[in-house]
Amino acid sequence: MAPPPLLLLKDIRLTFGGHPLLDGAEIAVSAGERLGLVGRNGSGKSTLLKIAAGLVEADDGSRFVQPGATIRYLPQEPDLSGFATTRAYVEAGLAPGDDGHRAVYLLESLGLTGDEDPKTLSGGEGRRAALARTLAPEPDILLLDEPTNHLDLPAIEWLEAELRSSRSALVLISHDRRFLENLTRATLWLDRGRTRKLDRGFGAFEAWRDETLAQEELDRHKLDRQIEREKDWLRYGVTARRKRNMGRMRALDDLRAKRKSQRGPQGSVRLTVSEGETSGALVIEAKTVSKAFDGRTIVSDFSTRIARGDRIGLVGANGAGKTTLLNLLTGALAPDSGVVRVGSNVEIATLDQKRASLDPSTTLRDALTHGRGDTVEVGGQTKHVVSYMKDFLFGPEQAGSPLSALSGGERGRLLLARALAQPSNLLVLDEPTNDLDLETLDLLQEMIADYPGTVILVSHDRDFLDRTVNAVIASEGQGRWQDYAGGYADMAAQRGRGVDARPSAKGEAKPKSAGAGQPAAAAPKRKLSFKDQHALDTLPARIETLEGEIAKLAAKLADPQLYAKDPKAFARTSDDLAKAEAEKAASEERWLELEMLREELAG
């Protein structure tokens, strides 16, 4: 008999503004579960996660948490107010008996010292502090709502490795396909208020979802045909004219009620781009371009040529200078030295990363029409603004709403609508994937593939880069940038690694040379980092635990009846055994490396 779940939500119902947001949703989280929670923007994923965390009460349904089970929740917008430092904020999330050193390790791993004042943090830094607070207690269940938001590629890949090695069960909301594919072993689809579970990771989800929707469409078509047959019988059937067969009429009413109650899939975004005139063959040429701010070199002697039809991705850690390089290439920023030449007849449409172009007091209608009438010209055709709004999943009633009332996903769709309505032959997209759901990302990828002009984009989404670009310009550190053919995976294969984290300002400072007659400063004595020392102290206990798990799994597989009784349980147990053995081998190798290093440094 399977053990009871650590967390169980059953028949959850919640209504907002008369509309059922959740209508019988369910979640069951067992020990070690790796569950991806997916669905359209506005489908209620974040609300369901808050109900699971105990922060929101449902109108109906039940919530059960196994006595003693610990749960930690990462919100999309963490609140750090009331704390003097980031370390105080993280340590406040620890329970008695939790390892305080882990809080320091997580802060350091995420590029923070622990001494930062929360009032001065950027959105990305606040997000990193919240991640450290959530992960530090090593709870039984982690509920993570968009954990990769505002994180750069090095931080995303670090977080992925940290969660992969964690023993906590995981319920994850994310728009990052690669992140979901690498971490999930089951997928929960929230659609039209209800949940459906696929006992496979996100990599298998989209094909399963499409098959499910196609079958629903077929069932609706069959039901429509059945209703038409019954209506035809009512009009022309001899029995109907003579006897008015009330039973059959009630059956028709039931069919109509059933068809009316069926909620079709949510609408889809329709992306149409306004094409400008064809640009020249050469779109941008940069020769030995350099740029520095406050004594720090952002771009150093960089040269490149971008031709018509190229799809270029700019990648690097936060602070590496991606937006600066983007502005240099498009002529929005003048270089300190070197030359940037923009080709003939180039018309640029830009998607602003910081949403700075949105005035919160402007209405949705005026934002799309620029305050000029009720029509938008898209792709050479004039459309009413309400019709264009519907293409991006906005309701007619939102036309007069101020932009301050929009969610993050809605603001992202609005900026896309504005950028795509502008005639262009060069699309410049700075973090276009922020706050977009997976279906909208699919359509954006298709639009980029079909766009006849040139595309330059900045993104931390590895899967999006692999699907859209044919060349990558990557930060190599100290202002150096390098061209690579292919997508992000191709770049990583050529470099032998992904994007590097940007060194801190302290790490970038160059040592002063010794003056004449002065001895050079002695090299600082090497020592184990906090992370290495922590691993050296904790790995023996972890190896011992893994040995116990391996023995239990091997004993379970030794049962000759297991495969015959439950082939799926046999396959899961075999998979768990292989993973435990691989983790034990890696842990033993890592401990040996660290122990040899410790002895070398001690000697």
Q: Is 259 annotated as a binding residue?
A: no
Q: Is 45 annotated as a binding residue?
A: yes
Give me the helices (H) in 427-519, please. Answer: 438-450, 462-468, 488-495, 505-508
Q: Is 39 annotated as a binding residue?
A: yes
Number of other CB atoms surrounding residue 70 within 10 Å = 16
- Residue 271 CA to residue 444 CA, distance in Å, equals 7
Residue type, 174: S
CA distances from 114 to 91, 103, 109, 151, 521 (A): 10, 9, 11, 18, 29
Q: Is 46 annotated as a binding residue?
A: yes
Q: Is 322 annotated as a binding residue?
A: yes
The token pair that represents 583 in the structure block: 């983790």
Q: Is 40 annotated as a binding residue?
A: yes
Whats the size of the chain, residue-wise? 603
- Residue 204 CA to residue 206 CA, distance in Å, equals 6
Q: Is 44 annotated as a binding residue?
A: yes
Give me the helices (H) in 136-282, please. Answer: 153-165, 177-183, 205-236, 238-243, 246-261
CA angle 159/164/170 to nearest 5° reads 90
Contact 72, 137 (CB under 8 A): yes
Q: How far is CA 356 from the centre of its chain?
A: 22
Rg (CA), the chain: 28
For 426-452, the three-class secondary structure string (H helix, E strand, C coil) is EEEEECCCCCCCHHHHHHHHHHHHHCC
Number of other CB atoms surrounding residue 188 within 10 Å = 25
Binding site for ATP: which residues? 39-46, 316-323
Would you list which residues are annotated within the binding site? 39-46, 316-323
